[in-house]
Chains A and B, each alone.
Chain A
Amino acid sequence: EPEVTQTPSHQVTQMGQEVILRCVPISNHLYFYWYRQILGQKVEFLVSFYNNEISEKSEIFDDQFSVERPDGSNFTLKIRSTKLEDSAMYFCARKGNYGYTFGSGTRLTVV
């Protein structure tokens, strides 16, 4: 199946700034996900997105997070006011016929 592409691969931002992480999962899939992996820890579910709506979110996904599919192919995760503890690798994923395909991730560093 086609890959999932994430941009940027690495982003450094100052605490309190807004960041937007982008994912291109191919437009003919319905289910998309964001996961987070803090350095040295396990991969944690953030949010699932189905048919242009959030279908499930974890308790990590608080009001500072939002997701959008602005143009039918890109899928974005916005963090409104970053905190130091938001530093992590963020993975986008989509669900297809052969299971879940993950992007290569965006490493977010909040300083």
Chain B
Amino acid sequence: AQSVTQPDIHITVSEGASLELRCNYSYGATPYLFWYVQSPGQGLQLLLKYFSGDTLVQGIKGFEAEFKRSQSSFNLRKPSVHWSDAAEYFCAVGARAAGNKLTFGGGTRVLVKP
């Protein structure tokens, strides 16, 4: 069974500082990997995804993530956060089988200090 762990429940970062959110997954083969962002009371917006190929993927809003097979990780990074990046971030894993569901991590809430 697939599973996702986001070790950090909360992260507080100063505006302009760098941000890294950790994600570890468990899956028997190479998975599809996703990062979603959710603002309070809102839906899930896709930041980026990894299917295959280059292990460093670029997403929207200046985010990037790196797939490391040896560490079963897919950490999300942003070099310089903006106040508007305050939100909850979810990592998710999906199997390559057609139609397979996504399994989400518990989320990391990011607070941005002025």
- Are A100 and B34 within 8 A (Cβ)? yes
State whether the Cβ of B104 lies closer than 8 Å to any Cβ in chain A: yes
Is the interface on chain B under 10, 10 to 19, 20 to 34, or 35 or more residues?
Answer: 20 to 34
Q: With A42-B107, A43-B90, A43-B104 in contact, is A99–B46 under 8 Å at CB? A: yes
Binds B, one of A14-22, A44-52, A63-71, A73-81: A44-52
Chain A nearest CB: distance from B102 CB in Å? Answer: 6
Chain A nearest CB: distance from B36 CB in Å? Answer: 8
What are the residues of chain B within 8 A of A91 when measuring CB–CB?
43-44
Task: Please report which residues of chain B, range 7-66, place their CB below 8 angstroms from some CB of chain A when the two chains form the complex.
Answer: 32, 34, 36, 41-44, 46, 49, 51
Is the interface on chain A under 10, 10 to 19, 20 to 34, or 35 or more residues?
Answer: 20 to 34
- Are B101 and A45 within 8 A (Cβ)? yes
What are the residues of chain A within 8 A of B106 when measuring CB–CB?
41-42
Partner of B90, one of A31, A42, A48: A42
What are the residues of chain A within 8 A of B51 when measuring CB–CB?
99
- Are A100 and B43 within 8 A (Cβ)? no
Q: Complex Cα distance A86/B70, Å?
A: 39
